[in-house]
Chain A
Amino acid sequence: MATGISASRFATAAPINRQLGVTVEIGGIPILLESDDADFCALLGQRYAGFVNPSAAPTCQFEIHLHPAVQSAPQDVRVSRSGSAWRIERGDFCAEWDARSRRGWVRQSANPYSIDAMLRIVHSLVLAEEGGFLVHAASGVRNGRAFVFAGISGAGKTTIARLAPPDATVLTDEISYIRKSGNGYHAYGTPFAGELARVGANLMAPLEALYLLDKGPDNRIEPVAEPLAASALLRNVLFFAHDPKLVKRVFESVIEFVSSVPVAQLIFTPDERAWELIP
């Protein structure tokens, strides 16, 4: 009987795949995180809630090897390249990733912080290839346009995100995701949260302007000369690898960005009136 044959065939031929996985799609780039530990996969599912996309075909893939003995204290990250293979090391994890095959592995303990750091680095490498970057900045969408608010720690990223009015959607209060798109740029939401401790909205919008944050006695926008804008932006771009080719690529990307996107200084006093300047 046909039904019996089919059932038998499926029973014997279906692959037994013990590897579980979570596909986390940030910035339109789905990365499959595979682990044979169901609890850890569940943890990743919770950590990246809103960014998990099981139906997306992954463009990058990582096997996660959990080792309880891996040192837990984070140290300075070291990112090095040998041909197309990147090696990423920090006290709490080490990983390798081949930029050509887009596959890699990470060895870490069962915590979401290590994978979070690894994802930021991998995304920064992928973006660098295509003229985008991750930047220390809050970002939000208002009236269909994205606004990025860059600054070092203490500049007011979390404050400006917290002050966002009801008609604005916060993409992140910590790490903004900028992707080149034709002649312009798009900002994407990220799950990389700062003091707000809230995952950003998973949406994207064309980038209208980037503001360099500075707290002051009143609210105003001041023009910034392009060289100063580039210099300030370079200080805030996430830059992990001391790789000459990559350094040049990021430099070029920032110069191109500043040449085409309005960059200004947003001096603001920490109350909701600051957003009155954002159209």
Chain B
Amino acid sequence: MSEKYISRSNSVAARVLGGEMMIMSAADSTLFTLSEVGTAIWEAADGRTPLSEIVQRHVCAEFDVPAEDAYRDAETFVEELAGQGILSISDEPVADPDPPAREGL
């Protein structure tokens, strides 16, 4: 299995409100609201940490989910976000770190 690295897009604004991560695409004003698990993955998407490690550390450990199921779900989730242009997926670590996850960017 080749590793995947995920990075938050810098053309979004994101804020936690009422315990939920709200993300707005600056390109087309589409609004996304992430679940608690989704928020954990989003916040860890620094472009340098492998997705498998993010899932292990922030999903399996915190939400008591089997690793294989969690990774499969996480892959689907990040592909959906990438399809919406608010996250990018790479086979290599991204050299330039992303801005903070919780601020309006």
- Cα–Cα, bound, A259→B105 (Å): 19
Tell me, yes or no, whether B28 is within 8 Å of chain A by CB.
Answer: yes
In the complex, are the beta carbons of A251 and B17 less than 8 A apart? no
- Cα–Cα, bound, A157→B46 (Å): 44
Of all chain A residues, the one with the shortest Cβ separation from B14 is: A251
Chain A residues lying within 8 Å of B27, measured Cβ to Cβ, are 242, 244
Task: Count CB-based A-B contacts (< 8 Å).
Answer: 48
In the complex, are the beta carbons of B104 and A227 less than 8 A apart? no
Choose one: A226, A231, A242; the contact of B31 (CB below 8 Å): A231
Mask, B73-105, CB within 8 Å of A = 1, is 000000000000000000000000000000011
Say which one of B18-26, B52-60, B64-72 lies at the interface with A: B18-26
Q: List 11 A-B contacts (CB under 8 A).
A: A227-B18, A231-B22, A234-B31, A244-B11, A244-B26, A247-B24, A247-B29, A252-B104, A255-B15, A255-B104, A258-B17
Q: How far is the CB of B69 from chain A (nearest CB, A)?
A: 26
Tell me, yes or no, whether A78 is within 8 Å of chain B by CB.
Answer: no
Chain A residues lying within 8 Å of B17, measured Cβ to Cβ, are 226-227, 230, 255, 258-259
Mask, A254-265, CB within 8 Å of B = 1, is 010011000000
Please give the residue numbers on chain A whose beta carbons come within 8 Å of chain B beta carbons, in ascending order: 225-227, 230-231, 234, 239, 242, 244-245, 247-249, 251-252, 255, 258-259
Chain A residues lying within 8 Å of B15, measured Cβ to Cβ, are 251-252, 255
Using a Cβ–Cβ cut-off of 8 Å, how many residues does chain B contribute to the interface with A? Answer: 17
In the complex, are the beta carbons of A255 and B22 less than 8 A apart? yes
Chain B residues lying within 8 Å of A226, measured Cβ to Cβ, are 17-18
Of all chain A residues, the one with the shortest Cβ separation from B104 is: A252
Chain A residues lying within 8 Å of B13, measured Cβ to Cβ, are 247-248, 251-252
Tell me, yes or no, whether B33 is within 8 Å of chain A by CB.
Answer: yes
Of all chain A residues, the one with the shortest Cβ separation from B29 is: A247
Q: How far is the CB of A91 from chain B (nearest CB, A)?
A: 23
- Cα–Cα, bound, A234→B30 (Å): 10
- Cα–Cα, bound, A226→B16 (Å): 10
Chain B residues lying within 8 Å of A247, measured Cβ to Cβ, are 13, 24-26, 29
Chain B residues lying within 8 Å of A230, measured Cβ to Cβ, are 17, 22
Chain A residues lying within 8 Å of B105, measured Cβ to Cβ, are 248
In the complex, are the beta carbons of B18 and A251 less than 8 A apart? no
In the complex, are the beta carbons of A251 and B104 less than 8 A apart? yes
Q: How far is the CB of B3 from chain A (nearest CB, A)?
A: 31
- Cα–Cα, bound, A248→B31 (Å): 11
Chain B residues lying within 8 Å of A231, measured Cβ to Cβ, are 22, 31, 33
Q: How far is the CB of A133 from chain B (nearest CB, A)?
A: 13
- Cα–Cα, bound, A225→B29 (Å): 21
Of all chain B residues, the one with the shortest Cβ separation from A237 is: B29
In the complex, are the beta carbons of A242 and B28 less than 8 A apart? yes
- Cα–Cα, bound, A226→B104 (Å): 17
- Cα–Cα, bound, A239→B28 (Å): 11
